Homo-oligomer: A and B are copies of this chain.
Amino acid sequence: MDEPALRQLLDDVRTGAVGPDDAVARLRRLPFVDLGFARVDHHRALRQRAGEAVYAPGKTPEHCARIVAELLAEPAGSPVLLTRADPTQVAAALEASPGGEVTAPGRLATVCWRPAPRRTGRVVVITAGTADLPVAEECTAVLRAFGFAPALIADCGVAGVHRILASIDDVADADAVVVVAGMEGALASLVAGITGAPVVAVPVSTGYGAALEGVTALLAMHASCAAGLSVVGIDNGFGAACAVNRMLP
């Protein structure tokens, strides 16, 4: 119920077409559909410039399928995403709602229905190592769903600093940059120093021992000496894509 609808309701009250009790009730009715196990939010796209994403872990295949179907039932809709889905969740959702495109970073898939039309912003996704690719690929899959055509530059860790310097033009000219890095996460600081574009850092749980399953990279990115870097959660390639989506027209 957005502002015009609110005005309409009040006009109806003024003209007597709607009684006060009904109006109170309607003002309580908000734009979601309650499936019992989930409250599907049809207006999130309007509020947040994105579609609704269904985070699969912890949901039954049936839950996944029903929520996706409910979201696609909205006629003029925005992209619908199912993220981190295992094969049975993917299968159930695709059977109920054919036509989704599946991207599988590592063992967990991202499925996209109804991708957004092509947008012009240049987005670059950079990884520090090849082990960061699954998270980067979740990010690029979501960016494509939102209409972007992201470039992926892999394996540019600072221990071989010339590798990222070789791509300095791509980085400097980007409209937004996502840096995906595990271990010590140093690449994010360096990239933020060579571009004026927004830089979103994604700590990754690769590495072992002192990498502390991504906590070290997360802390390091937050303690970065580079100004204006912002960070999303560990392994959250999806979140980084959503952050970029908010930043670019």
Contacts and interface: CB of A to CB of B under 8 A. Distances in A.
Interface of A: 3, 6-7, 10-11, 13-14, 16, 20-21, 23-24, 27-32, 36-39, 41, 44, 47-50, 53, 55, 57-59, 63, 128-134, 154-163, 165-166, 168-169, 172, 182-186, 189-190, 192-200, 203, 205-236, 238-243, 245-247
Given A28-B169, A208-B235, A216-B219, A186 B158 contact: yes
B222 A243 contact: no
A133 B194 contact: no
A58 B87 CA distance: 20
Copies assembled: 8
A163 B47 contact: no
A232 B230 contact: yes
7 contacts: A14-B20, A30-B162, A47-B196, A58-B206, A158-B225, A183-B223, A185-B186
Contacts of A10: 10, 13, 20, 23-24
Contacts of A199: 246
B196 A131 contact: no
A14 B11 CA distance: 8
A188 to B, nearest CB: 8
Contact of A243 (B47, B198, B212): B198
Contact of A194 (B161, B215, B240): B161
Given A131-B57, A133-B37, A183-B224, A159 B209 contact: no
Contacts of A134: 58
A210 B217 CA distance: 11
Given A24-B6, A31-B162, A216-B216, A210 B233 contact: yes
B39 A155 contact: yes
Contacts of A205: 209
A24 B7 contact: yes
Contacts of A44: 160, 193
Contacts of A36: 154
A203 to B, nearest CB: 8
Given A13-B14, A243-B228, A223 B207 contact: yes
* 9 nearest CB pairs, A to B: A209-B234, A58-B131, A228-B242, A186-B186, A49-B196, A210-B222, A230-B230, A159-B226, A184-B220
